[in-house]
Amino acid sequence: MSRETLINEIGEWLIDQTLSQPDIVELFQEVCERLSAVGVPVTRSRLTWPTLHPLFQAETILWRRGHEIEFEQFRHQDEMSEQWKASPMAYVLDKNLDTFRRNLDGPNKMLDFPILKDLQQEGYTDYLMIATPFEKTTVRHNNMSSGLLVMWSSSRKGGFSDDDLEALKKIQRRFAAACKNVVQNRIARNITETYLGQQAGREVLDGAIKLGDGRETEAVVWYSDMRNSTALADTMAPSDFLELLNDYFEATAGAAIEFGGEVLDFIGDAVLAIFPFEKDAGKQQAIRCGTMAIDRAIENQEAINARRLEEGKQIFQFGIGVNVGTLNFGNIGVASRLAFSVIGPTVNEVERIEELTKVLDSKALVSAEVAKFEPERWVSVGNHKLAGVAQSPELFCRAAVAKTQSNMDAKVHNSQKAH
């Protein structure tokens, strides 16, 4: 069987992949291994594509024969690094090139980028980069666009032959066709999860897009609100207040996400997050995660405020309320403009619980149902009336805070007795 026939079979296999949703990492690995198996001397290859993500501007996969395949994401600030500016990829994107090739050994070698010198020292002899746009545009990382960049490298003496180059160009076009839907679905998932959260994003992508679509769920509800935000917004420059607000969100929402919470909404300067669970064992774990998120949020606040004070900037304060119960989780709004959120008494109560953190001078308050799973962490502050709620539930503050406050009161009392 001729090599051309074998290359065509790889192309046919890739066409079949366009009808499914393959894992892009596994797909790229198999393409590289199939090419190597039919005699195309690929020993290293890197696939890169632009994405839409609040943290990352591009995603990349590195395959090397005989090594574990590697997946990596490039942060937005990476495009400003000197390493990026001195790379062949930046050159190709800047010049809108379709193909870039360098011989790494022999009389025609050209090592005009640092990465090429590194590859030569590792034993590679040829370097080929091909850009394949998904549309009739160039592949770009900035301002989005879409498509693939693949860097093919060989360690064979003499590098790639003309037949090898033709095979790689042919296969890459079919590979791009197989990847197009996969990449676009990854971007869609990034967007929905960024704006809706992981669970809500998945439900929307799975078809929960009509008004009223949703279900009941059990969850720990975690609610935070920034103190004195109205006064701060009135007295600070808009850009300074926005920076303060984002630092506050980093401290609070960041903590909830770190411990597995789903941030459903930023309500002005408030954070609404949930920790869903299904069984009693899951309930205890969800409560544990919610309470650890409280501790981390306070740690974050102390670190961020210390930095802000050093920079001569306004600091922030907040309160957190935590409750647990049954929620209605789904679409609310009007048919043409929906929001995926939670409603129900548990949500109403947690907002009222947080409001009492100001009255009781506590950073965090939780319901009795939360406190009972870790009684050593909490101290009762008594029963309190919640606005709009018939009962006056017992609430609890953090035990360490209560002990500190008790010690301070004792010191004040002893000082007064001494005088």
pLDDT of 414 higher than 60: no
Residue 406 has pLDDT above 50, yes or no: no
CATH of the domain at 158: 3.30.450.40
Residues 406, 259 share a domain: yes
Q: What is the CATH number of the domain that holds 289?
A: 3.30.70.1230
* Of 14-28, 48-62, 231-245, 299-313, minimum mean pLDDT range: 48-62
Exposure of 26 in the CB half-sphere (CA atoms within 13 A): 5
CA angle 183–184–185, rounded 5-degree value: 90
Structure tokens at 351: 């907002």
Which of 141-155, 191-205, 217-231, 347-361 bottoms out in mean pLDDT, i.e. has the lowest? 191-205
Residue 418 binned pLDDT confidence (cut-offs 50, 70, 90): very low
pLDDT band at residue 193, thresholds of 50, 70 and 90?
A: low
User: Is 241 in contact with 276 (CB distance < 8 Å)?
Assistant: no
d(CA 40, CA 373): 61
* Rounded mean pLDDT, 11-21: 88
pLDDT value of position 167 = 95
Q: 389 versus 286: which is more confidently predicted?
A: 286
What pLDDT sits at residue 405? 44
Q: Of the candidates 8, 3, 11, which has an alpha carbon nearest to the alpha carbon of residue 176?
A: 11
106 pLDDT above the threshold of 80: yes
Taking all residues of the chain, what is their mean pLDDT, rounded to a whole number?
86
Burial of 412 (0-12, 13-18, 19+ CB in 10 A): exposed
The whole-number average pLDDT for the span 222-236 is 94
Q: What Cα–Cα distance (Å) separates residue 204 from each residue in 196, 207, 214, 317?
A: 9, 5, 10, 34
Q: Are 256 and 219 in contact (CB under 8 A)?
A: no
Position with higher pLDDT, 88 vs 206 = 88
Examine the pLDDT at 415 and tell me if it is beyond 60: no
Residue 111 CB neighbour total at 10 angstroms: 17
Question: 228 and 156, same structural domain?
Answer: no
Q: How confident is the model at residue 281 (pLDDT cuts 50, 70, 90)?
A: confident
- What's the pLDDT at 78? 59
- Summarised one tens digit per residue, pLDDT across range 319-362 is 999 999 988 876 667 766 666 677 788 989 999 999 999 999 99
Domain boundary residue, one of 158, 178, 195: 195
Q: Which helix (H) or strand (E) holds 112?
A: none
Same domain for 191 and 307: no
Residue that is last in its domain, among 195, 210, 242? 195
Whether residues 224 and 148 share a domain: the answer is: no
Instruction: Indicate if the pLDDT at residue 240 is higher than 70.
Output: yes
Q: What is the 3-state secondary structure (H, E, C) of 247-276?
A: HHHHHHHHHHHHCCCEEEEEECCEEEEEEE
From 195, 229, 247, the end of a domain falls on 195
Residues 245 and 225 in one domain: yes
Give the separation between CA 251 and CA 167, rounded to whole angstroms.
Answer: 52
- Give me 328's structure tokens: 């209605």
Count structural domains, the chain: 2
Instruction: Supply 8's token pair.
Output: 């065509």
Task: Examine the domain organization and report whether 404 and 288 are in the same domain.
Answer: yes
pLDDT digit string, tens, across residues 49-86: 988 776 778 899 999 999 999 999 887 665 667 888 88
Strand partners, 130: 99, 150
Backbone angles phi, psi at 74, to 5 degrees: -95, 125
Give the mean pLDDT of 392-402. Answer: 83
Confidence bin at 12 (pLDDT 50/70/90): very high
Q: Are residues 187 and 222 in the same domain?
A: no
pLDDT of residue 410: 41
Q: pTM for the complete prediction?
A: 0.63
Q: What is the DSSP letter of 361?
A: T
Pair (372, 346) in one structural domain: yes
Q: 231 and 171 in one domain? A: no
Q: Which domain holds residue 23?
A: 3-195
Same domain, yes or no: 247 and 326 = yes
Distance CA 105, CA 185 (A): 40
Q: Are residues 211 and 107 in the same domain?
A: no
Residues 43 and 184 in one domain: yes
